[in-house]
Structure formats: C-alpha cells, structure tokens
Chain A
C-alpha cells in the first residue's frame, strides 16, 4: 500500500516559495540595508520598523490566521513588551522607588538575555489573561472585547503615573538602554577598520535574525499537532471539539503564543526607539497589524510577511509621492491626509482584485515529505 502511495502522482503545489526563491529573499534581506544606506540612514530605519511590524504580524497571524480568533487589541501585547523592557532598562523605576535605586546603585540595566524573555513571558501572561474570559466568544463579539482590552491597556499606561509613578503617564519613559549584544551596544557605530556599520544597520541585522527565527517557529507550529488543532478550531469549532480537541486549552495557547511575539517585538521597539509613550499603542496600530495579515494573505506565512512589509513601508514611500502631489495642487492638499487616502485606495483595490490577499495560501496543500519519510523508515528497518 505504501509503495502504491509513493508512486501516485500528486498535483503540484501552486504558489509556495521554492528553495531558490527563499535563498534569493534571504540574500536580498541581508543586502538590503547596504543598498538602502546609499539613500541615507532614514531608509534603513524604515526597514527596521518594517521588520518589527513583520514580527507583530507573525504573532497576530497565530491568533487570527491559525486559530481564527479575531483579535483587535493585539497592540496591547506590543505595549506590554515595550513597557516591560522600558521599566527594566531605564531610570524610571530607580527614580520612582528609592529602594530599587538602593538595590541597583549603578541604575537598573537588565541585560538583553533577561529582559527579552521577561518581556515575552509577561506579554504571554497578558495573552492568557485576555484569552481566559473570551473563550466562548467568536467573530464580532470577540473583536469587540479584544478591542476594549487593547484600549484598557493603553489607558492604564496613560494613567499609571499616579498615585505611584510607574509608567510616567503620557510623558512616557525615556533614556531606555539600547540593546547590547555580547557587550557591544547596538546604538553605536561598529568600526570594522575599512568601513563603519551604522547603528540602524546593526539593529536591522538583529531584527532580521529575530524575524527569521519567528518565521521558523511559525512554520514549525503550522505543521504540527498544535497548529493543525488551531486550524481545525478556525474552520469548525464544534467539529474540532467532536474530534477530541480541547478547544479551551488550544485557544489559550494561541493567545499566549501570539502575545509572546508581540512582547518580543515591543521590547525591541522600546530599545530601538529609546523612548516609549502610550500614544504609540493606539487602536490604529492594532487595525494596521490586522490589515497587514489580511492584505498579505491570512494564515499564510509568505503572505503575512509581504503584507507587513508593504503596509509598513508604503506610508513612507507615499510620503515621497504625496509631496509632489501637494505641490501640484498648490499646497491645498495636506500631505498626511493624502497619504492616508492613498493607503486606503491601495487597500481597497487589493481587496477588490485579490480578495484572499496578495499572496494567499495555495489551493493545493503543500507537498509533504511522506515519500522521504517512507525511505527513511525503510532504511531503519
């Protein structure tokens, strides 16, 4: 029976990136900052932010794309991660609490290897906290509750400066330590003797490594027992239950896992910016991240990455389009408004022309390695 199976001709998958394409993308991703530097560090900075958005989109994709739980408050986990790192690596806590200052006479400088797992863990806990009361909600109802949760976190951050100053309120937390990798702070230029690598490029490489790991984790989860159970819940919760899937635990796992990505991304954001304030975590951010995965191709990793890169970079690119257009109209059109309009137009046209996203999952499932597995099994025997 097995031999019959391996001989059977299977329809070829349509769109998943081939190995060559993957190598090309990786090479392009590694060379990109060098190309962008020609146009100035501002462009590399845009690429850095785009990568942070990719991280966020990958995390939200676990919740919305895999498990089908419409989460409109995802930015809350980004905020939790960012504030966690900010508190652990800035003078904020030592200023507010003398006893902490006494414990850390040199100031609170939690190393990367502690701060980032803590941010991830803390955000993951918030994920479970949000997940637990919303287990029975689906679709619109879940969206409304998660939206509320996202706003609650922001309002908390905005107001937790009284009676005890924890978050410094709307003024935000500044002087956050830059990330230090193996004793070398990424905020400084790296002098290689023949050339200098600017700080933004160093961050770029750190973020690209993180994105690489995240894609690996996501794709491994997608093709696992847990990932399949998530997708089963997304497709039909009742049937999933009837097949013996503990939907409560798996939904919580999805929320926790997605939030963890948000937390890591938030910690990166805080250190990269050196400053966090509540206004970075508005509802609009949640909507944008959701827009990224819907635009790219919900539940499909290449699509999600593409969507995040496009939507994160598009506003900046359009800045350069909006400028000339504004001059054409004699300054009557505000550049910021024009930019919003152009993004909206781009999104509407994408949704009209490609309703399943720019790079949706192929109609045929990706080919598995069952024939290789069989050979391996035969080798074992």
Chain B
C-alpha cells in the first residue's frame, strides 16, 4: 500500500490515518470526490481550503458522523469502519467541533471525565454497590481528568460549569476532552476560530506540545499563518477534490492553491514566484 503513495515511502511505521478513494455526495452535490490522504504518525497535518471545500465533511466522515459513499479507512495500518460514531472513538480518533459542542451544564471536570467512558468499564451494578473496582476506576478517571485539565491549562476552573468558561478556554476544554479518549489521532476542526492573537499563540503552543507528546494531529484551520507555522504537511481541498498536498512552502507556491484559496497576493514570496513563472 505504501508503494502506491510516493509521499509516504520514507516513513516506516504505518500512517496514523490512511484513507483512499473517499466519496460523499449530498443529493446532487458531490461534497468529496475520491480523496486519498495519508497522515504520518506524530505529525501535524493541515487540511485547508475555501468555505464549502468539504473539509468538515471529510472530518465528519473519518469520525463516523456521516457515512461515506465509498472509501477505505485505515488507522495505524488497521482497517476501521467509520459507520458507528462511538466505535471510531474506541478505535482511536478523537475530534473537536467547529462550533464548540461541550456538555454545557456539566462541570469542566465532568466534561473530561465523560470522555474516559470509552476506556473504562464499570457498569450499573458497580456504581450502585460502589465496588472496590468501581472506586479505583473512578479515582483513576478523576486523576486523569485533572491531569488533562492541567495539561491544557484550565485546571483552576475544574468545578465550574462548562458554559461559564471563556471562548478560548472552551476550545481548550474540548481538546482536553478529546485527549481523554486516548486517541491516536486528534482531529481539530477550526480550533482557532474566534480567538484573539494571544489565545492563538497559546493554542499554537498547546498543539505543538500535543505533537511533542507523540500524538498525531489533523488540523482544519482558516488562519493561514497558524497552519503554515504548525503543520508539517498540508492538504488543500477545493470543491471536494484534493488540489494539492505538501509542505507549507510547497503548498504556498502551488498555482492551483493560490487561485482557489490563498489569492494572488497571499504572500510576497508566492507573488514573486508567480511573476517569475
């Protein structure tokens, strides 16, 4: 399989996520057309494109919210079927949402504790009789949740309701919640949307930290500066097709990308290279 994708030949371990031939149409609208994508383990992979390019549709498909019309899905080399949403989380993909979807009336801590559900086992009887196994599991869940809140830097709000957090902190909480499912791949859908400059820098540091700690990150983002600064590889979608893939500098120079998304005056470098060619 690796041979068919020259871009990943140099990587020995299987890609964190590998999809082939993903198609999706809504009625007459072809939202995704034959998308191939490989995300190398331990990297930050960007997914950009103009509005309506199919980025979020792609996200929803790999995380199981939409069923793909066709396509092959592999996670760390193992095939998985994104037909049942909760099974995808179990397989190891966790995501955040473009329009924040926290459990608003639950506490910040509980939001993260909920996400441990998929890695824990106690049932009704354990809860009712407070068995030792239940207690120790509950204790572990709580410690892990606190540790994750500390990791994203909002531990001091642990007992507040999630809805009371500021916008930036809600985004952080979503990331903490996603990390609590022990994912191989963390998929962030426009995490910087609505953030101010300071918050963006903090977010960038956080995402870099997550990558340093060995997670693979898939990032949809409109903030070109953030994407170019963070990602090792970038895939560009337009009208449901992949129009380019490569390192930030390659993508920035790609004429198709400039035409579809970045615009001719995106950066001085691309402009000058355009004039030369």
Please tell me if the beta carbons of B161 and A363 are within 8 angstroms of each other in the complex: yes
Chain A residues closer than 8 Å to B244, beta-carbon distance = none
User: B78 near A: Cβ within 8 Å?
Assistant: no
Please tell me if the beta carbons of A232 and B156 are within 8 angstroms of each other in the complex: no
CB distance from A178 to the nearest CB of B (A): 28
Please tell me if the beta carbons of A227 and B106 are within 8 angstroms of each other in the complex: no
Fill in one digit per residue for A220-242: 1 if any B CB lies within 8 Å of its CB, else 0: 11001111110110111011111
A232-284 residues with Cβ-Cβ distance < 8 A to B are: 232, 234-236, 238-247, 253, 257
Fill in one digit per residue for B108-140: 1 if any A CB lies within 8 Å of its CB, else 0: 011001111110101110111010001001110
User: A332 near B: Cβ within 8 Å?
Assistant: no
- A-B pair count, CB < 8 Å, reads 143
User: What is the total number of residues of chain B having a CB less than 8 Å from a CB of chain A?
Assistant: 55
B79-128 residues with Cβ-Cβ distance < 8 A to A are: 85-86, 88-90, 94-95, 97, 101-107, 109-110, 113-118, 120, 122-124, 126-128
Fill in one digit per residue for B176-203: 1 if any A CB lies within 8 Å of its CB, else 0: 0110110000000000000000000000
The listed residue with most B CB atoms (<10 A of its CB), out of A231, A239, A245, A253, is A239
Number of chain A interface residues as a range: 35 or more
Please tell me if the beta carbons of B127 and A244 are within 8 angstroms of each other in the complex: no
Q: A10-B158, A243-B94, A370-B142 are in contact. Are A236 and B101 (CB under 8 A)?
A: yes
User: A196 near B: Cβ within 8 Å?
Assistant: no
CB distance from B176 to the nearest CB of A (A): 12
Please tell me if the beta carbons of B86 and A244 are within 8 angstroms of each other in the complex: yes
Please tell me if the beta carbons of A246 and B105 are within 8 angstroms of each other in the complex: no
Q: A5-B155, A224-B138, A226-B127 are in contact. Are A240 and B161 (CB under 8 A)?
A: no
Please tell me if the beta carbons of B139 and A220 are within 8 angstroms of each other in the complex: no
Please tell me if the beta carbons of B181 and A221 are within 8 angstroms of each other in the complex: no
Q: A5-B155, A243-B117, A367-B159 are in contact. Are A253 and B124 (CB under 8 A)?
A: yes
Please tell me if the beta carbons of B104 and A235 are within 8 angstroms of each other in the complex: yes
Q: Which of B104, B105, B115, B160 contacts A11 (CB 8 A)?
A: B160
Please tell me if the beta carbons of A257 and B124 are within 8 angstroms of each other in the complex: yes
Please tell me if the beta carbons of B139 and A377 are within 8 angstroms of each other in the complex: yes
User: B146 near A: Cβ within 8 Å?
Assistant: yes
CB distance from A35 to the nearest CB of B (A): 33
User: A114 near B: Cβ within 8 Å?
Assistant: no
Chain A residues closer than 8 Å to B104, beta-carbon distance = 235-236
Q: Which 7 pairs show the lowest CB-CB distances between chains A and B?
A: A244-B118, A244-B89, A365-B107, A224-B127, A235-B103, A241-B85, A239-B101
